[in-house]
Amino acid sequence: MPRWRDVPDKFRRRGLRWTRQRRAVVDALARASGHVTAAELVERCRTDDPTTTPSTVYRTLDVLEELGLVRHGHGVDGREEFHVAPVAEHGHLYCTSCGGRWEIADEQARGVLEAFASVDGFGVDLAHMTVVGTCRSCAAARVP
């Protein structure tokens, strides 16, 4: 997890302001493990302080992302998901058949990066989206 203690200064050094509502979002984030949906974060903030406005949370997440403190990706349904940075970047797999979810293994990631880089030098950001498909067991179980 990032040094949440340093966040206020990080903001100020950029000419941004450290406000009560931003602290709320960062607090919620600091307590979050793994991934959180933007909507979930809004919810958590509202639990702490019912006056929280969704738009503020969304905007705060945007600036946190600009500052590199969080990263967002998209789940299977395209909805936003946030990862607290700088946890090791990792992508996600989702099996449309059984609904299972896994993280993308390093070897896989390497292979993918190469596949893209070698053809036209495209540098993939695997962490940005959920890769959908069929897991081995579902593929095996499928009637042929």
Q: Confirm or reject binding of residue 16 to a second copy (CB under 8 A).
A: no
- Pick from a second copy, DNA, none: which does 50 bind, CB < 5 to 8 A by kind? none
Among the residue ranges 57-65, 88-96, 104-112, 123-131, the one whose residues contact DNA (CB under 7 A):
57-65
Are 134 and 98 a contacting pair, CB within 8 Å?
A: no
Distance between CA atoms of residues 95 and 101, nearest Å: 7
Q: How far is the CB of 97 from a second copy (least distance, A)?
A: 10
**76 near DNA (CB under 7 A):** no
What's the gap between Cα 90 and its chain centre? 9
Burial of 3 (0-12, 13-18, 19+ CB in 10 A): exposed
Residues that bind DNA (CB under 7 A): 8, 11-12, 15-22, 37-39, 42, 51-56, 58-60, 62-63, 77, 79-80
